[in-house]
Amino acid sequence: GGQRKRVSVAVELVTHPKMLFLDEPTSGLDSASAAQVVDLLKSISVAGATVACTIHQPSSELFELFDWVILLKAGRVVYDGTRANMVEYFSNKGFMCPSDYNPADYAMDLIAERDEDKLDELDVFQPAPREDAPEPFSAVAPTRSVSVSDFFLECSWIMDREAKHWMRDTNALGARYGVCIFLNLIIALILQGVGGRDDTDSDNLAGHFGGVVMVAVMVMFGTAQALATEFPLQRPTFLREYVADTYSAAAYFLGKTPVEAASLLLQTALTLVITYWIMELRGNFGYLLLAWWALGLSCSATTLIVGCAVADVCGLYLNPSPGPNPNPNPSPNPYPNPNPKVREIVEFISPLFVPQILFVGFFIRVNDIPVSRTRTRTRTRTRTRTRTR
């Protein structure tokens, strides 16, 4: 728990922010881990950054590390000042904190046990801000300038993280390659020896051609399916870190590409190893590997584009903005629908790739497609009339 909290803080510190906001960084931690996290935040503030955080029931030791305290009740300010003057402030209001009592617990009990009207009678609330208070800061981040060396450093770190994630996610890894082995083994056994027969026979040629097309289709859908079920789960992390200016979008995708390309190469090689000798294919093994690997890369890139587009469309139409929020308890996630269901992206794979398979000429010649044939006849007639004239 403590290590995860420290890593989360460290990720936010990558870009050296001037201000750091944290929501209950000590929640769920024991006293030792909470002390380590608050000590880290204290060292960050001493280094020159402003650290603002909400904290739940801090101990006396943790409370002593804070410089400034803001206490709220129903959106109104009860206290806004230094930690050292808080006890004196409540003493002047008639509330004496015992010397052996935690000031943070005393103040929270004081606020929690009394309603807003009672606190108004006791004149505990501080005056509201002036009407001519300055406008809040703009939420638009300044333009980010990154040197070439920093850009490649971002790419290298993202690539290293993606490689570790790929190796550690053994369940997804086993499912991905397990399904690949199982399906290609079935196809290879059904189409066993189709490439070693005499292609002068039309039936043998049809079987040989069908086997090659079937393997190519398996490579296409196998690689697309794997990425379609993986990227939606990573998209919220990418959005959070991109908005925090941890890295650029170009660095993210360039760092992710080598790992995904290596994974696809392994999957394609596994497919070819299973099918090449059982089906007795005749083509050069290396050429087939490169061709089907390129096919898998193009399908993965297309799936990634569709995944991003589907997520944006779902966020636009499922959470239109602006407008009043009918949900009285909105989700703390600031990104509307950043992670659409995997099903929504998978449903787009078939309409995307099936027309390409139909029109590429595998099952019917391009010239025999009705639309193409009509256009060809029209062009032929036009040329004939031109020559006649």
Taking alpha carbons only, the member of 194, 189, 186 closest to residue 281 is 194
3-state DSSP call for residue 146?
A: coil
Instruction: Give the mean pLDDT of 61-83.
Output: 85
Residue 78 backbone dihedrals phi, psi, to 5 degrees: -90, -40
**What pLDDT score was predicted for residue 146?**
61
Task: Note whether 72 and 52 are within 8 A (CB).
Answer: no
The confidence band for 132, taking pLDDT boundaries of 50, 70 and 90, is low
Q: Return the minimum-mean-pLDDT range out of 106-110, 254-258, 358-362.
A: 358-362
**Cα separation of 366 and 298, whole Å?**
22
Q: Could you give the 3-state DSSP secondary structure of residue 80?
A: strand
b/e burial code for range 5-31 (CB count within 10 A of at least 16 → b): beeebeebeeeeeeebebeebbeebee
Residue 321, SS3?
coil
Cβ neighbours of 67 (radius 10 Å):
11
Q: Out of 49-63, 204-218, 332-346, pick the least confident.
A: 332-346
CATH dotted code for 1-118: 3.40.50.300
- For the record, the structure tokens of 252 come out as 């993210």
Q: Counting Cβ atoms within 10 Å, is residue 164 exposed (0-12), middle (13-18) or buried (19+)?
A: exposed
The rounded distance, in Å, linking the Cα atoms of 218 and 294 is: 14
**Length of the chain counted residue by residue:** 389
Query: What is d(CA 85, CA 71) in angstroms, rounded to the nearest whole number?
Result: 13
CA distance 311 to 324: 22
CA distance 208 to 198: 10
CA pair distance 303, 305, nearest whole angstrom: 5
Judge whether residue 331 has pLDDT over 50.
no
Q: How far does CA 171 lie from the centroid of its chain?
A: 19
The backbone torsions φ and ψ at residue 257, rounded to the nearest 5 degrees and listed phi first, read -60, -50
Lowest mean pLDDT among 82-86, 130-134, 197-201, 299-303: 130-134
Alpha carbons within 13 angstroms on the beta-carbon side of residue 329 total 0
Across 250-289, b (16+ Cβ under 10 Å) vs e yields ebbebbbbebbeebbbebbeebbebbbebbbbeeeeeebb
Provide the residue ranges of all domains of the chain, joining segments of one domain with +.
Answer: 1-118, 162-233+257-309
Helix extents (H) in 47-197: 60-63, 86-92, 103-112, 116-121, 148-168, 170-190
Query: Distances in Å between the alpha carbon of 370 and those of 42, 169, 201, 360, 377?
Result: 73, 48, 28, 14, 11
Contact assessment for residue 373 and residue 367, using Cβ atoms and an 8 Å cutoff:
yes
**pLDDT per residue over 39-69, tens digit each?**
888 888 888 888 888 887 788 888 888 888 8
Both tokens assigned to 334? 């600031």
Q: Which of 4-18, 32-46, 175-189, 356-370 has the lowest mean pLDDT?
A: 356-370
Report the distance separating Cα 77 and Cα 125, nearest Å: 6
Pairing of strands 68-73, 50-54: unpaired
pLDDT of residue 262: 92
Q: Which residues pair with 77 in a beta bridge?
A: 72
**DSSP string for residues in 205-271:** HHHHHHHHHHHHHHHHHHHHHHHHHHHHHHHHHHHHHHHTTSS-HHHHHHHHHHHHHHHHHHHHHHH
